[in-house]
Each structure stands twice: as C-alpha cells, then as structure tokens.
Amino acid sequence: MEVIIQPNAAAATRLVARLIAKALRQNPGLVLGLATGRTMEQVYALLADMHKEEGLDFARCRTFNLDEYAGLPPEDNHSYRFYMNHHLFAKVNIDRRNTHLPDGMADDLDAACIRYEQAIQEAGGIDFQLLGIGHDGHIGFNEPLSALRSRTRVKVLTPQTMAANGPLFDGRERMPRRALTMGVGTILDSKRCVLLAAGTAKADILAKAVEGPITAMVSASALQLHPHCTIVVDEEAAARLEGKDYYRFVFRNEPEWQEFQ
C-alpha cells in the first residue's frame, strides 16, 4: 500500500483523474471499476474535460460499478445508474453497452449478484478499481463485519449509512434499506486499487484503515492485503496518519511518481 498526500482536495482529485487517464491511455480496453458519491463527482468532471479537450478515448473501455440500490429503476435520479450516466457516461464516448451496474431491479437479487461476478470474470477482471471510504470504513456497501473474502451480494445498510445518504433522497424514509455491492474479495481481486479520500471527517477512519489492524469492522483495512493499492488523500484526511513524513518521502523519491510532482 502507498499513501500519497496532496495539499488539498482539488489536488488529490486531480491526481486520481490523471492516474485513471494514464491507465486508459496505456490500455484503451481498460476494465475500470467505478465508485459513486460526492468525492467522485469532480474526478468524473475532470475525466470528461480530458475527453473533450485532450481526446481521452473511452470507446473501448468497460466499466463495473461497485454497487446499486435494491429496488430503484435505472431512470430514478437516486439510482447509481442515473448518477453514472449524468456525471460521466453521457459526457464521454463510452459505449453504454460496456457499462455495468448490479441489477437492483432483478426479480432474484441473489442470482443477479452471481451474474455480476460472472460478467466481471468474463471481462478478464477489473484492471483499475476506484474507491471511496465511508465514515465507518466501508468500501462499496461492505458495511462493518463484511467478510473479507465476500463476493457480490445483497447487503442491508447500516443506520449510519442511511443517515449519511438519506439527505440525498426526498426524505430518509424513501431511501432503500438494501443494496447490491461487490464484495471485499471481489474488490481485492482487481489488479490495481486507488482510494480517494478528502476532508477532516475522513481522518479518523482513514488512519484506522491504513495503519490499524486488518478487521472486518473496517472493510477498507482489507486493502492492506492488496499488492497494488494507492491511497490518495488531502492534508485534512491525512491528519491522523502516523507515517506522514515517510509517505511524503516515498512520493518525492519513487520514480513512478515523478511525472505527478
């Protein structure tokens, strides 16, 4: 695991967008794992700008989102399909047939989860997985006590997640209680993971995930097991990290990061 500390949220977001763009230019057929949420909106805005201004090509890219709410149709403006269409897919030259989210409207949700795992495998696995982190340390909707070898499945959301996401709905009572999510094991199978976190509110949980014990209570801590995981944070989110000086030293001196200085 590598930790890269940027001076502010804008710089952290810009670095993550540049990492995705570099991976896509190196491999036009990139299989990209995507996340949602407020933190990712600026990442997608920057990628859309790169497509428009620099010709960043998404034509052969395939995407798999981490999760989707159960019971929300794709056209619902609270669904993650709607989110992805609005923030990225409609703004770049991606083939919508190559964009995938779990089917929250399936009659058999368990079968839909199995099909999603199969689709990822048929695509050759995820090359680059983008992640955020929840206030309780969840990645995707892998709430506390999610098994570290879990696969795509249906999860009941915690009251904390309901409280965090409820304001995005027209009243918390309208928010679905369940979601389909890639499992922790599914995420760890990706060839590369990049987690983006910003703001003071993420400082405590980020320190637990990065420098604390690996535990099912903080599903993001499982990323310590990943052979190629990069954590990109701003100064505020990095406030509780004990190894900050070392992380900065590595970023300044590792050859692979020179182009991003």
Tokens of 41: 């909106």
Q: Is 138 a catalytic residue?
A: yes
pLDDT at 84: 98
What is the CATH code for 2-260? Answer: 3.40.50.1360
Residue 109: phi and psi, rounded to 5, are: -65, -35
SS (H, E, C) 110-179: HHHHHHHHHHHHHCCCCCEEEECCCCCCCCCCCCCCCCCCCCCEEEECCHHHHHHHHHHCCCHHHCCCEE
CB contact at 8 A, 36 and 43? no
Q: Residue 245 pLDDT > 80, yes or no?
A: yes
Rounded mean pLDDT, 123-136: 97
Active site residue 136: yes
Beta bridge partners, 69, equal: 179
Helix (H) or strand (E) holding 50: helix 38-54
Q: Which tokens in the block code for residue 159? A: 């009251």
Q: What is the mean pLDDT of residues 12-39?
A: 97
Q: What share of the chain has pLDDT > 70, as a percent? A: 99
**Averaged over 39-44, what is the pLDDT?**
96
Q: How far is CA 107 from each of CA 70, 75, 111, 174, 186, rounded to the nearest angstrom? A: 10, 18, 9, 20, 23
Region 197-207: mean pLDDT is 98
Q: Which residue has the higher pLDDT, 169 or 203?
A: 203
Boundaries of every domain in the chain:
2-260
Give yes or no for residue 163 having a pLDDT over 90. Answer: no
With contact defined as beta carbons under 8 Å apart, do 138 and 181 qualify? no
Given the residues 67, 68, 103, 117, the one annotated as active site: 67
Kindly report the number of other CB atoms within 10 A of residue 178's CB atom.
15
Which one of the listed residues 51, 87, 100, 138 is annotated catalytic?
Answer: 138
Q: What is the mean pLDDT of the chain?
A: 96
- Whole-angstrom distance, CA of residue 259 vs CA of residue 16: 13
CA-to-CA dists, residue 182 to 31, 90, 139, 185, 220, angstroms: 15, 24, 9, 8, 13
Catalytic residue among 127, 143, 226, 234: 143
Percent of the chain with pLDDT over 90: 92
Of the residues 136, 189, 204, 235, only one is catalytic, namely: 136
Tokens read off for 145: 């006590």
* pLDDT, tens only, 58-69: 999 999 999 999
Query: For residue range 166-188, what is the model confidence (pLDDT) as tens digits?
Result: 877 876 678 899 999 999 999 99
At 161 the pLDDT is: 86
Under the phi-then-psi rule, with left for phi > 0, alpha for psi from -120 to 50, and beta for the rest, what region is 183? beta
Mean pLDDT of 100-127: 98
